[in-house]
Amino acid sequence: MPSPTRWTHAFRTRRRTRSRTRRLLERHLAVLVVAALVSMSALLVSYREVQNAAGEMRTRGAPAVQGVAATQLALLRAHLEAQRSVDDGIDEVVGAGARYENQLAAADQGLSRLSDVQIDGERGRGVLLTVRGVLTSYSTSITPGAVKYVHDELMQRQKFTEAKTLLDRPGTGVVPRLDVLQEHQMRRVDRVSSLGPLQRTGWAVAELGLLILALTCLSGLWVLRTRCGRSHDPWLLAALLVTLALAVVPLWATVHTQERLDTARHRLFAIEQRAHDHTDLARSQTYVIDNSTSLRGRLAARSWQNWTYYGALGGGALVVLLPAAGICRRLNADYWRAG
C-alpha cells in the first residue's frame, strides 16, 4: 500500500502538471486571439486597398488618360482637316469644313468629360480651364481661316498661323498643356496600379499572422490530444480550415486584380505614347478608341471580388471566435471550474 508521502508527492506532481497544462492552453488562447486580430486587420485593409485601386482605375484613371489622348488627337486632326481643305482647294465647297468641325466638337466634348474624371486635382482643373480658354481663341482663328477668308490668301495664312501657334506653341499651347496634365496623370496611374511598400508589408504581416494562427491551432490540437486526452477538437479544426482558406483565397483574388491593373497600366502607357504619333492621325485615333473600349471591358467590376472581401470579413470573425470558444470551453470544463 503506497505511503502517505508517495500519495502527497503524486498529488503535487499531478497538480503541477494540470497547472502547466492550464497555463499552456491560456498562452495558446492569447496567441490565437492576437494573431487573428492582427492578421485579419492587415488582410482586410490590404485587400480593400487593391480593390479601391481597381475602382479608381476603372472610374477615373483610365478614362482620364484616354480622354487626354483622344482630345489631343482630335485637335490635331481638326487642324489637319482644315489645312487639307485649303490645300486641296475645296474650302469653297459647301460642307467642306464638316470634318474639321466634327473633330473640333469631339475635342470640346472630350474636355468637358475630362473635367469630371481628371486625376490631377486642383492643378488639373486649372490646366483644363486654361486649355478651354485657349481653345476658344484657337476656334476664333481657325474658323475664319477655313471659312471666311477663302478668297484672301494672306489673311487666311495669318489665321492658320495664329491657330497653329495656339495649338502647339511650347509651354503655352493647347497640346503642350495637355501633355503636362497627361504626365501628372500617368504618374498617378503608376502609383495607384502598383503595389507599394506599405501594401507589400501589409500582405506580409497578414500571411505571417495567418501562418502563426495555423501553427498555433495545430499546437493546441496536439496539447489537447496529449495532455487532455481529447482526440480532436471541432472548434480548433474548423478554425484551422478557415485560416487556410483566408491565407489562399483573398491573396489569389488580389493577384488576379493586380494582373488586371498591370495590364491596364501598360495599355494606358501605350495609348499615351500613340497620342504622340502624328504620322497618321486617323490610325492613331482608331488605335486609341479600340484600346479604350477593350480596356473598359477588362477593368469592369467583378462582383465575386466584393464577395471575397465580405467572405474574408466573416472568416476573420470565425478565426477569432472558433479557437477562443474551443480552448475556453476546455479550460472552463477541466481547469477553471475545477479550480
pLDDT digits (tens, 9 = 90+) for 93-126: 444 456 778 888 888 888 888 888 888 889 999 9
Q: State mean pLDDT over 333-339.
A: 51
Q: State mean pLDDT over 218-238.
A: 76
Q: State mean pLDDT over 287-298.
A: 85
| Total length of the chain | 339
pLDDT confidence of residue 318? 86
Q: Where are the domains of the chain?
A: 25-183+196-336
d(CA 48, CA 53): 9
pLDDT above 90 coverage of the chain, percent = 24
Range from 68-82, 230-244, 311-325 that averages highest in pLDDT: 68-82
Quick: pLDDT tens for 129-139: 999 888 888 88
Of the two residues 172 and 149, the one the predictor is more confident about is 172
Measured CA distances, 280 to 73, 75, 80, 273, 328 (Å): 10, 14, 11, 13, 74
Measured CA distances, 199 to 42, 44, 255 (Å): 9, 11, 13
d(CA 285, CA 71): 10
Which three three-digit cell numbers place residue 74? 482630335
In three-state form (DSSP H/G/I as H, E/B as E, the rest C), the secondary structure along 25-82 is HHHHHHHHHHHHHHHHHHHHHHHHHHHHHHHHHHHHHHHHHHHHHHHHHHHHHHHHHH
Quick: pLDDT tens for 47-67: 999 988 888 888 889 999 999
Q: Are 228 and 330 in contact (CB under 8 A)?
A: yes
Lowest mean per-residue pLDDT among 150-154, 221-225, 246-250: 150-154
Of the two residues 2 and 162, the one the predictor is more confident about is 162
pLDDT confidence of residue 151? 67
204: confidence class by pLDDT, cuts 50, 70, 90: very high
pLDDT confidence of residue 281? 86
* pLDDT higher than threshold 50 for residue 9: no
